[in-house]
Amino acid sequence: MPKNKHVGDSVSKGGVDITRRTFLHKSLLTGGAVATGSAVGFFQTLTSMEVANAAMGESFSFAWVSDTHLYPRELNQRFIDKATRAFSEVEAMGSKFDFMIFGGDLAQLGDPVEIELGAELLQEVTLEKHFIPGEHDWYLDLGESWNSHFGESPWTFDHKGVRIIGLDTVGSAPDYWSARGMTDVERMGHMSALDGSQAGPWSGLGKKNREWLSATLSDWPAGDPVIIFSHTPLYEVYAPWNFWIRDWRQVHEILAPYQNVTNVHGHVHQPLYNEIGGMRSIGQLATSWPWPYAPEGTPELTKPMLRVDPGDHFDGVGWTSLAMNEGRMDYEYMMWREQVFANTRADSGTGDNQNQKLSPRIADRGWTGDWFNIERK
């Protein structure tokens, strides 16, 4: 299996070996993302993937918004305010973007009222829009409201030399509700709490979607860029919170031949970056709230995010502007605060090397054999 690449790995550019941390330090000294109030992903510009895929395709930009977690209007205005701010900002910059992707968790409890409210707010954005569902959109009515408003997933289209794919990573959880006689509300309740005690490792593509992904990529040249949108990450971020797809092994096998894959994912509500083989994964902000970093299992963070100010509900959230530039993915977190990244590890909330255990194979602890081949009826 391919190994996760971690901070400090030596990368070679222009024949000079240099650690990623050193490169990052130089970038911060000479760049200035921190001072701008937004956060540019510097470090991906150093990867061997980019060197291999330089000067490819036509450049374009797009916007990502996700994880608005809307409640009905009378219950919660804050999340509406933040979603509205994101959509307004995207629309204001609309001439820059070719399209917007909404990456799931539009609703909090899958209530059709919440999804209707989200559809109404999304009308602010007049760009071409594409949608993938989150688990919060799905498990009250098993996707009925979501699909009726935003269409079914997965889907694909080609854009300026890039194959673009939108996956459904949430809709094929094993049936944890029938045998227990759960109501629809109870089923949604377990999912909305990310409660793995009932739902197990619920996130995944499932056999049908994996076959679709394989067929969709079968005619695509291995060196050409692919962007895959998914709500949950396509690698094992943190199993106890279901921050991963349970069938990542098979998905990585499908993606292994492709040398320039970018997975843009939501669900984690925080800046994350990782590379496995030819796939880079970029975690996205929520507009609703930031999750803390997982205490173990993830690659050591290159640029940890500061702890957020609990008194400021616009802190630590936002949306993302992304650009495919000649086969290289650049991105800018449009986070609504002045100071984004920690200057010292003590400020980061991620612990130090002693407290943060690195366990690349954490998913194996919850590994359940043939679970990933069980299909929900």
| Interacting residues with Fe ion (CB under 5 A) | 67, 105, 134, 267
CA gap 298, 11 in Å, rounded: 20
Long-range (24+ apart) CB contacts under 8 A made by 359-363 are 359/296, 359/297, 360/3, 360/4, 360/297, 360/299, 361/236, 362/236, 362/238, 362/239, 362/296, 362/297, 363/236, 363/239, 363/244, 363/246, 363/248
Shortest CB 231 distance to Fe ion, Å: 6
Query: Which residue type sits at 76?
Result: N
Contact predicate 261/278, CB 8 Å: yes
d(CA 122, CA 120): 5
Closer to Fe ion by CB, 57 or 271: give it: 271
Residue 77: helix, strand or coil by DSSP?
A: coil
Q: Return the number of the residue (225 or 266) whose C-beta is nearest Fe ion.
A: 266
Question: Could you tell me the smallest distance in angstroms from the CB atom of residue 341 to Fe ion?
Answer: 22
Residue among 317 and 334 whose Cβ is closer to Fe ion: 317
CB atoms within 10 A of CB 136: 30
- Closer Cβ to Fe ion, 49 or 245, answer by number: 245
Least distance (Å) between residue 31 CB and Fe ion: 30
- Share of the chain residues as helix, strand and coil, in percent rounded to the nearest 5: 30, 20, 50
Q: Which is nearer to Fe ion, 105 or 275 (CB)?
A: 105
For the CB of residue 154, give the shortest distance to Fe ion in the complex, in Å.
17
The nearest distance, CB 237 to Fe ion, in angstroms, is: 12
Question: Cβ 246 to Fe ion, closest distance in Å?
Answer: 15
Q: Which is nearer to Fe ion, 62 or 243 (CB)?
A: 243
> For residue 161, what are its two tokens?
């030399």
